[in-house]
Amino acid sequence: MDRMLYIAMTGAQQNMHAQAVNNHNLANANTHGFRQALNYAYTEPMRGPVFDSRDYVQFASEAIDFSPGTLQSTGRDLDVAIQGNGFFVVEALDGTLGLTRGGSFHLDAQGVLRNESGLPVMGEGGQIAIPPAESISIGGDGTLSIRPLGNNPQALAALDRLMLVNPELDTLDRGADGLLRDREGQEIPPDANVRVLSGMLETSNVNTAAALTRMIELSRQYEMNVQMMKTSSELAKRNNQLLSL
């Protein structure tokens, strides 16, 4: 009965892991530019001296669904969405650079451009600091321009350009801070072909209805595996009773 017990146990363990991934996706359903995580599992036979006697469930490395979210118009000057492929670059708390699709930016008290999480948004010249201005605009290539205080509407001054990158998606991993980075730690150069839309935001690509349905399915699968473990234990007790006669 140990085969049935341990196989059901690994199945329940995988259900718990899949549920955690699914819950993380649901928690970020309203996070701009979020890319949902995908959970994969596979069977691995137990190697023995004679033959493979059973298959256990194993976790595969977490994959990321890079399908795009929908674009929503906000009309706000510092809301930016990327057209097609590409990422914004921000400076993480540990000083490293990370990639994100979230383009809801704001200025702090010192005029530094930051994202929703408060991380500095990187330009091609480093952190972007914007002085007091009548207005701020972001062009399709990511160029930030301002109309200085007291100047006429035609007097625009270009300050910097958002650092926009477009790495190969299969080279990216997500860190504990939610930012994407190159798996090998390689520096990702800017890509002049990445285009942005001002006054727009990209939503998360999490389908909440599908995620809720998935939550129910995983709960039922977990209960089934737990019931199999209980059944295995009961059968083992009955076998022991018969052998004791």
pLDDT of residue 53: 62
From the CA atom positions of the chain, what is the Rg in Å?
25
- At residue 119, φ and ψ (nearest 5 deg) are -85, 140
pLDDT of residue 114: 96
Q: Of 132, 107, 138, 135, whose CA–CA distance to 121 is shortest?
A: 107
Please list the pLDDT of the chain residue by residue as tens digits (245 residues).
467 777 888 888 888 989 999 999 999 999 999 999 988 777 777 666 666 666 777 777 778 999 999 999 999 999 999 999 999 999 999 999 999 999 999 999 999 999 999 999 999 989 999 998 888 999 999 999 988 887 776 778 888 999 999 999 999 999 989 999 999 988 899 999 999 999 999 999 999 999 999 999 999 998 998 898 888 878 877 877 777 76
pLDDT of residue 236: 77
Q: What is the pTM of this model?
A: 0.81
Q: How far apart are CA 232 and CA 219, in angstroms?
A: 20
Q: How far apart are CA 35 and CA 64, in angstroms?
A: 7
pLDDT of residue 13: 85
pLDDT of residue 232: 83
Q: How far apart are CA 16 and CA 77, in angstroms?
A: 43
pLDDT of residue 162: 96
